[in-house]
Structure 1
């Protein structure tokens, strides 16, 4: 109820005219608004209109004749569909629909069919012309009861409603009705991310039945009929209970299609079949159930929990060749959950999928905590939280996945051991004990989204830094993301992390703006702390995956970030051209080498990509002309390299910049001495560093003498 109210306010407050209630009390105005919003939501479900369009159909006011909203659609040539909504809001989810409401609804219907528009309030006028056209032409009318309740219609009211519809229908199906209860309204509010109730018509041949302990049916269904299940809105919701969706994780799906297209008569024997769960069912057709005979059902709340790939492949095969594939048949089980204990459906889902390569995280996708988070994301933040594998991940600005959320929660967990675990093997986060540690306290959508944003900012900053880094420090930037996110998070003010108000959203945005600078500081401190603690030959990849080492680094990193001390200088590991500090000396590497006469004239040097982007962007370009990879050394302090690709002399940095520009479109000035190597001896920068080390040693020895 809380989410429904909040979602209705957010979605429809901008679109619903409440000027007629300007003099009403706040409580009365809110009640009227919520009732109208429910009606608009019902219109949206029936028509798939936008929120604004659905709200435009509202006629709720004094004199609405029992109809709160109308919608007219042209469905096919000269065929129309009219939607008439009566909505009931209830603060406690117990909206009723009795004889008075039923009489009012039929009265309004009769007035409209008689074109008695004058009996309605003025809000009907914008719709009168469309209603008249629709009522003058063949079409259908749907009476929609949008009731904020979990209760079914009373049997007497349902009987009167159906009798009233029959008496007013010229032909069967001309007028129909639909009840959208609290659950249906809520699912419609969630949109495509929610699990909308699916109704299916199923005909079983050779049907069998189980009654103890729970009711179930089984039999053969034609492939053509199953393909029809997968049409329209059903496509997005038919697998709502399935923990994997129709994943193409192997070559199974193409093989299923191949069987249907080449030997459909064998499909029944080759297929494992399909398992359907339904919340309830109604018999379809006359006569009692007879074992081995054909029987029809109308399933309500149907979901394929095993065989999603089969259904998907069937639909594709029938689309390609309906005549051939449609000859196939498949075994189907139908399990009714109406009399089953709570959670039985999820147990069936889990058991039915354990035979497939299902991951532990797939089973956690059925956890109520994940459903609640998904709903909270949609209602509180207007964002998507994708639970199941196989569903496309949302755009970064539109939300996140359950996997990303788990990683971010692990990164910001109170214990650094969780950081090491996540970095070592993130799949272990879905094990019960670790999963409970991350999600057991039911984190809010605001908290999850913000830690996801933080981890994204840290990773983006590290990626940007790594473009300019090489060697060990580049390795640190690629491995320390979770630990750095952990350290930054635990030095931030996170007391209002669960507050989704606009003020706190702005405050969090300001904190995120500081993350790039904090990330750079944290990276330099991480390198120094790890090197000091475990040696400069230690592997950062090992450090961040070892719980004991992570504890050491985390404690010292928090101290350093909290102190505000200036971070160490690791400019030596940057490839961009530096003119000051330690890196400034590297710019003079050519002079040092020429002065020392270290490289003989005519020595051939090789070009080697240095950074990650270089290794992705340069190889194909270099392979196109081997001369691009070589240059001949001459002892010239300004242009020591003669590039074999064009025979012209260059400074190492100038030539490297030109090459990166031609190959990658990147014209950044870099330390070219990092890129040009003497095989077996190292880069020009390495050779210059060795010469400087010798000079420093000589100077030191001279000072001692």
Structure 2
């Protein structure tokens, strides 16, 4: 989407990924002689634009950017979001050292936890290459060396067998994301899911074949050649035309990452590969296979939690002790808020309640991290030993109270403060839990309603302390997303704020710039026709002219208008509601009413419902009716007030 214009803060266009949480902020420079360049000021302005979006400070941005704010926020709220500053230069000189340094510094500041922000430069040759690739995307032809294979020839020719993981890595290294052209999503880079795949390849390469679900490739055709003609059932070479990996993109990207780290580890690693030749003109079946292989038999880490006897014990405890429902398995209908909770809500609440803020960090990054097993895994820390149903339920209630307060009070916090409140939700909950929610949480005699009653004030105080701490320690221009996603900073902020509370330090007030100002009362703009009549701007009987606006309107009615010159003519009458006397029928109309009458008579079936008629009727040589009225208003505003 093009957003170029005044107040674009160095952002000429915005692109948002359809399948993945990816945001591109684009700045372009044109030079007809092919010598375009970008200066330090241009780079800093673009970085400032990114800061505005990160801080949710949308008011200084132009209307086009503000219209995209909800979609941009939706991307930035994702824990695996990726942001690319894309600089397109119609030239051949790359960035200067000073510009590169400013962009590198911005990436370092923003990437407090993991690679979230990067930048790319496209010079004239690359831009032309992108244009050509967009017109005729090159096909991918693969050679697959398969062992221990079997073939199924009907209804589609297909081969399944084991393939060295190193060869799979070579595919991606050579062809890049074009390898996934038919997939429902591209590779997500090194995310939480395929990071575990990389670790398996490095630690247990010989067992990778048994752990991994495999890769599915669709192609137009297969040409099979045995390695040895005398051994037709031995290893085979498959030449695939127009191939695409439609399932297993994360496995492929993990293979390349593992190879880059240590190629030797892949020597013992194999993966199952299934190749299906759909032939030409079989897009429907190809789409069905792609969809099915990406949706069937999908298992998440949370699903294994249902096998732990602790969870069934908690479910029974909820039913017997509290007469409430506790759901464990994915797909179970979750109970209404007053009737119970799910294991997901329980895990997040326990993570925020835990004295170690690291668990709240994991919940913020990705709730799936709460299912990690092992001695240091979050799941063991949260559910072993088994917490009582009462402790879990009270923790869930307090977390809900914090979230409700944050939602209800969101309008009290402007820009950066509001963004900190949103991105710091679990840190705020952790602070409230440490202040209110640990004593008596497992004691049936303890009045928990008293704790819940204190939650709104404690939450608002935590927000004020957190905003002050972030700005004091990391500056008022620090990137909020990365600051609150960094475990070290998260932990430091938690300790600092809790220490201030224990020391009895007063809760700091928010700066005025973080508090919304009362909206200005705007007087309603007078009606255009009334302005003209009151000012006596147009004399009775003055001829006016109708002019179509925009290509679709001209295309639809121009020939009809030219059929009779009277159809574009009207006479002004000093009347507040119907000031136009149409030359065709001698009837009076409002400006909008006459435009709609013209459209209907001309037979324009796709005419819009709404129209500003005063913008289409003109006083020849002087302007439209609405333009004349605006000139009167401007003149009145410039007149000095009477003493």
| TM-score, normalised relative to structure 1 | 0.31
**Which structure has the larger Rg over C-alpha atoms?**
1
Q: Which has the higher relative contact order, 1 or 2, with Cα contacts under 8 A spaced 6 or more apart?
A: 2
TM-score normalised by L of structure 2: 0.34
